Structures are given as structure tokens and as C-alpha cells.
Chain A
Amino acid sequence: MKKYSREWSVAAAFGLLMLSLLIVAPHFFQWQPLLSRVTSQMPAMVVALGVAMVIISRQIDISIGAQFSMCAVIAGLVAASGLPLGVAILAAIAAGALMGALNGLLVAYLGLPSIVVTLATMVTWQEALRLWQQGRLLNLPEGIQWFGQSQESGQAIVIGATALLLILLAWVMKNIAAGRAIYAVGSDAEAARLAGINPQRTTFGVFVSMGVLAALAAVMNLVQSPQIQPSCGDGMELKAIAAAVVGGIAIRGGRGTLWGVLPGLFLLANVNPALTHFHQPPYWEKAIQGLVIILAVVADGWNQKKQSNNG
């Protein structure tokens, strides 16, 4: 299992954290609160899957938090106007796909660096949303929360849907031509082009998928509470990128498996609860998140150096 050593070591770190929590704070594992905590991480998981694909294609997208907020508000407004939930979900997906397509257009077809493009679209969507909603809380009608089901089945739907997405996307990335093309473009776009892949179309497709996944994540977030905040996606981009990078997605593209995102996210998501349960102040969360990103990237760099020295 040398091939997946990174994924396994992250999973082991997560297991170690859980084990120490089991000893220090066994009440961390009460079933209902645990289930709620897992459910509340599912939207971030879906976003992280998308950004993992973006990073594998050697791009980055930091507008995903803003896309998430925008999709959540659009879905919320459609639902609040009395239309059925299905229409709200479709509206969110359409909005996400459009925002992703704009990023994809600028990055793939104009050849602009994705970091600056998505920095600009991030601010544009964020401020447009603030201008439009003025930070108002949006009340959702009855029958939206947990898809109109009981809390248990609602949680089951959210977790099940995320698991399904993970399995599906990981399978596509491993076995389908479109998925392999993402790896190929991320490793070497010119070689991919010579091999008959259209790198521009692949990159464009990755950004559109990212938008759609952000929309799906926003819907999964929407159904978890009776209200929706226009700032619900703030900071989501860092969390998702950190989860992907910690989970072994190489920041220079072309390497990594979507399965690694799962332990990556769970390790990061439990930093804050762990701090509380070890009776430490919670203000350190952002600093630890930044440190973990840097450590993961440094580890990547070391690995690469070792490989190139051996080869």
C-alpha cells in the first residue's frame, strides 16, 4: 500500500485524534450530536471534492465560498417564494454552473491564471450578494428543512447523497476517460493535447463541475436549518482547499485520489471540537488551519524532491 501511504497516514492521524478524544472526552461520541456534526460537515465535503478535481487539473478556485453563498441564497429565495424544493435545487445548480462557466471561460479560453480570476470573481459575487441582501437572514418556509422529512431521515439523505457523490466521482476519476483527462491535463497539458485531449475543454468542464458541486453543497446546507445566512459560505474555500491538500492532492496537479479528501476533511473539521474538548481556547482554529496547509505542502515538496533524487 505504498502508493496510498499519504492517504493512510492522514487517516491514521485522524484515528489517533479520535482515540485520544475517546479517552479524554468519551461524551464526544454520543450518537445524536455525533451524527449532527458529521451531517454539518457534508456540504464542506462536497465542495472539497470539487476543489480536489480543480487542483488535480492544476488550477485553483477560491471563489467557491462565494459561489456557495450565492447558490444558497438563490435556492432560499426560490423556495421562499413558494415554489417546490426541486425548482429551488435546479435554480441553485443553474447559478452554480453559470458562475463556474465564467471562471472556466476566463481560465481555459483566455489563459488567465486561475488564482487571480477566482480572486476577482470571489469578491465580485461576495460583494454583489452583500449589496443585494444587505446581510439579511432569509427565513425558509415549512417543508424545506430536512427535505420535509424527519431529522433522522433528512440526515440520512444528506450523508447518503454525499457518500454517493464521493463514490461516483472517485470512480469517474479512476475509470472514465473524462476523469483520466483531468489527471492528464494536470500532469502536462501539452502532452495531453498531443495525446488527443482538449485541455481547454477539460479545464472548462472542471470549473463548471465545481460550480455545480458548490450548488449541491449549498442545498445540503440549506436543508439543515430553518434560516439561511448570506454569509454561509465565507471561508469555505480555505477549508475545502486545506482538506484536499491535506488529503494528498498534489498542489502541482496530476496526482491524488478523491478518497484522500475524506480523512483530510475529517482531520481538519475536528480541530475545533478537539480544542474545546481538550479545554483549549477555540481562537487558534484559523492559525492551525493555515499551518496544516503549509505543512501538507511542505510534505509534498519533500516527497517530490525524494522522488526526483531517486529517479
Chain B
Amino acid sequence: MSQPTNQPKWTALLAKHETVLLAVILVEILLFQNLGRNFLAESNVSNIFRHSVEIGLLALVMTPVILTGGIDLSLGSMMGLCAVVFGLLVKQYDVSPWLAAVAAISLGAFGGMGNAFLITRMNLPPLIVTLGTFSLFRGLAEALTKGSEAYSGFPQGFLNLGNANVLGLPAQLWVFFLVTLLVWLLVHRTVWGRSLQAIGFAPQGARYAGISVERNTGMAYILAGAIAGLAAVILVARLGEARANVGIGYELLAITAVVLGGTSIFGGSGSISGTLLGYVAIAILNNGLSRITAHQIFDQPVSSVARELSGMLTGLLLLLALAAGVLLKSLATRRARRQSLVTTTNPTPST
């Protein structure tokens, strides 16, 4: 809205980014279909999403945070803390799992509020604040479980959330659809969502335009924390076990999905649809590698080192996406400058 003249060009660029991502996903599918076993079998396709829906959830709520120009490194640790508190409530205090799930989500929101307070009210850099809470939340989870305890033996009705199908789709996928719709509406169809882009684009300008920068930015961190709590509950339902190391490294996967999806790491521009595509690309990569049986790397069958391999490739992918983003942007500005030069030197069209 702020720059109506650039609107069509930017949407064109975004569309282009998303087409590139779609092509990447197609190449992945073709590759893994040829190299692996039963990659496109119906059971595996729902497996891909059953086993990665938590990453998708984190990526969805990481998007508004990055839109404001911030970052939240604590989401993976938040999952660990919420999972442990959830297990503790159910197993030691006999709370019903659904009530405990509400408690876990509230705890996540509360932790997010802590981040939001330090970042917006104390005016501290998000990166170091969430690096601190990254350590704090995981440390609390470890302290609560004395380093090694795990909670298991949850009622079947709750485990169904992670393992059963509803209307032919994994149960947790329906939750994911719901959250996707919610976050999409919030980011793209509310004043709050628009204000986030303004804040990320120019915080001072947003303030002068009458936007409450503190409150709107803080909301993004609170939403992120709450959904991290939800992701922890879903992960516990799938694994049937709650322990302190739940969700290690998930924040990186989420950030990768967001950046891959074309959201600028400097804030100000991005989209939920891009994030979804970025997430699908990562989920397919993780699953596809574990199905390659015929090939070897460092004398190990690929399927047995799939975790390390996909971790490494995710890191490289993030670096490539970042570098490509910067290079594309500098190309675009150069083109824009050239065009503006052309229009200023030829003020009157020849026709």
C-alpha cells in the first residue's frame, strides 16, 4: 500500500520466487521417485507430512517474526520445555492430556511474552535475547527432567492426535491446516499483518505513521511461542514420549523454510504461501533421503546417514537461498535504476 507504483512489480517477483520453489519441489519429487523406494506411495506421502508438521507450524509463526526484522532462536527450546511440562502435568499430576495441552500452549505464549517484553519494552536485540532464552528454556526442561527422565504411557485417545488418520489424512495435518488458515488471515488480511511489514520495512517510519511498534512486534513473539507449545504437544502425541531434547534444531529448519520461501531476512517483505512451499521442499528432502537405498556415501548407505545428510544439505540450502536473495535484490534495484534513468532522460514519449 505504501508504494502503489511498485506493487505489480513486487508481486511479479514474488510469483517468480514461488514458481522457482515449485520447480525445486518437482525436481526433488522426480529425483527421489527414481532413486528411492515407494516415494510417492500414498502411505509415504502422508508420512512426509506426519513427520514434519511441527517444522511447518514453527515456520508459519516464524514468518511474522522475521517480517518485523526480528528472529526467534528459542522456539525449538520452547518446544522442549512445553513437552516436558506437558508430560509432567499428565503423568505426575494426573491432568487430562487435553487440559495439559492447553497449559502447554499457554506456557509457550507466556515464554513468548518473556521474549516480547525483553525485545520491545527493554529494547534489546532479538537475536541475543532469544539466544539467551534458547539456553534458558532448554536448561529448564533439562532441570525438570533431571537431565534424562522421560514421560511416556499417554492415553490412546491422545496418541491418536499424532498417529491416527482423520478423513484419510493424518490427524495433525488438520490442526496444521487450521493454523495455516489462521496465520494466513492474520498476516495477509488484518491491519496487524500489514503493520508487521511496515515495521520490518522501516520501524521509525511505522512509528511516525501511528503504528504501535512495541505491541505489534510483541504479538508476533507471543503467537510464535503459543504455536511452539502446540507443536510440542503434537510431537509428543506422535512419539508417545516427552523428554527434554524434543525439538532440538527445529528453529533452524523453520528459519530455513521461511527464508527459502522468499521472506526477506531483513524484514519488510514475505508471504505465508512462500513459507509453505519452503517447508514442503525441506520436508520432502528429509524424507526422500531416508528412502535412498542403492547409493552410498562415506561407505554408508544413504538411508542410514539421511539425518546427517539432510541436516548438512539444509544448512547449505539456507546459505544458497540467502545469497540468491541478496543477489536477486541487487539485480532488481539495478534494473529499477536503469529504468528510472531511461524515463528521466526521455520525459516525453515519442508517440
Please report A residues at the B interface, Cβ cutoff 8 Å. 60, 62, 106, 110-113, 115-117, 119-124, 126-128, 130-132, 134, 238, 241-242, 245, 251-252, 281, 283-291, 293-294, 297-298, 300-301, 305
By a CB distance below 8 angstroms, the chain B residues around A283 are: 142-143, 145-147
Shortest distance from the beta carbon of B118 to any chain A beta carbon, whole Å: 7
Majority secondary structure, B binding face: helix
Between A and B, 6 residue pairs with Cβ closer than 8 Å are A119-B252, A238-B134, A238-B135, A287-B140, A290-B138, A293-B131
A121-B315, A126-B311, A281-B146 are contacts. A297–B305 as well, Cβ < 8 Å? no
By a CB distance below 8 angstroms, the chain A residues around B147 are: 283
A112-B326, A134-B300, A298-B122 are contacts. A127–B139 as well, Cβ < 8 Å? no
Given A131-B298, A291-B136; 12 other pairs, CB 8 A cutoff: A112-B326, A120-B316, A120-B322, A121-B319, A131-B308, A134-B300, A241-B131, A251-B128, A286-B135, A288-B139, A294-B118, A301-B122
How distant is the Cα of A122 from the Cα of B249 in the complex, in angstroms? 11
**Binary CB contact string for chain B from 109 to 142 against chain A (1 if under 8 A, 0 otherwise):** 0000000001000111101110111111111101
6 interchain residue pairs of minimum CB distance: A287-B139, A290-B136, A286-B139, A290-B135, A124-B315, A127-B311
Per the CB 8 Å criterion, the residue count for chain B at the interface is 49
Q: Is the CB of B312 within 8 A of A106?
A: no
How distant is the Cα of A124 from the Cα of B315 in the complex, in angstroms? 5
Tell me the chain B residues, 235-278 only, with Cβ under 8 Å from chain A.
249, 252, 255-256, 259, 265-266
By a CB distance below 8 angstroms, the chain B residues around A251 are: 124-125, 128
Q: Is the CB of A131 within 8 A of B129?
A: no
Residue B171 at the A interface, CB < 8 A?
no
Q: Is the CB of A238 within 8 A of B252?
A: no
How distant is the Cα of A301 from the Cα of B126 in the complex, in angstroms? 13
Tell me the chain B residues, 301-346 only, with Cβ under 8 Å from chain A.
305, 308-309, 311-312, 314-316, 318-319, 322-323, 326-327
Residue of A nearest to B325 (CB): A112
Q: Is the CB of A287 within 8 A of B125?
A: no
By a CB distance below 8 angstroms, the chain A residues around B298 are: 131-132, 134
Q: Is the CB of B129 within 8 A of A297?
A: yes
A238-B135, A287-B143, A289-B135 are contacts. A112–B265 as well, Cβ < 8 Å? yes
